[in-house]
Amino acid sequence: MSRNTVEIAGQLKGLLIRGSPLIEEYTTQTCPGCADVCCRQKHGLFRERDAVYLTALGINVPPHDETRPPEGPCEFLGNEGCARPRWLRPFRCTWYFCDPLLRAMNDGPRKKARALSALLQEMIGLYDELKG
Ligand code: SF4
Ligand code: SF4
């Protein structure tokens, strides 16, 4: 594991921790009324690059319950939403914004939306730099 990868993973973790409350300002408005929750088992699986990220942080990739149907609810989904802190979720759980979430961003304060967009771009850049 190169030092660079460790640094990138550490920076990404920091941004995920910093960005989570900003994202939750939108999800807490939008998700409780959702009729088609996106948290399916297949979406909560860790990809190769997520594994690079977790390994660089010294964390083992958590096992998944392979008996659960891919289209069924994610095993980490609880009554209060995701049971995992954002920095320990697959990255797609953070970058995926459904149409209602995008509308909430567009309809809300511009400054807040711009700040979150910039943070997400920074996160995506770091995630892209993590090579499997
Ligand atoms: S992110 Fe969108 S699709 Fe997923 S639970 Fe929230 S409102 Fe529903
Ligand atoms: S946000 Fe959490 S509950 Fe939803 S798919 Fe990702 S890991 Fe599963």
Closest ligand 1 atom to Cα of 34: 8
Supply the pLDDT for residue 2.
65
Supply the pLDDT for residue 48.
94
Supply the pLDDT for residue 3.
63
pLDDT above 70: percentage of residues in the chain: 97
pLDDT at 132 over 60: no
> Using a 6 Å cutoff on CB, does residue 38 contact ligand 2?
no
Supply the pLDDT for residue 80.
86
Residues 85-95 as b or e (16 or more Cβ within 10 Å = b): ebbbbbbbbbe
The tens digit of pLDDT for each residue in 52-89 reads 999 999 999 999 999 999 999 999 999 889 999 999 99
The residue-averaged pLDDT of 102-126 equals 96
Q: Indicate the number of domains in the chain.
A: 1
Entry pTM:
0.93
Range of the domain at 67: 3-129
Report CA(39)–ligand 1 centroid distance (Å): 8
> Using a 6 Å cutoff on CB, does residue 13 contact ligand 2?
no
Report CA(37)–ligand 1 centroid distance (Å): 5
> Using a 6 Å cutoff on CB, does residue 30 contact ligand 1?
yes
Measuring CA to CA, which residue among 6, 12, 7, 4 is closest to residue 86? Answer: 12
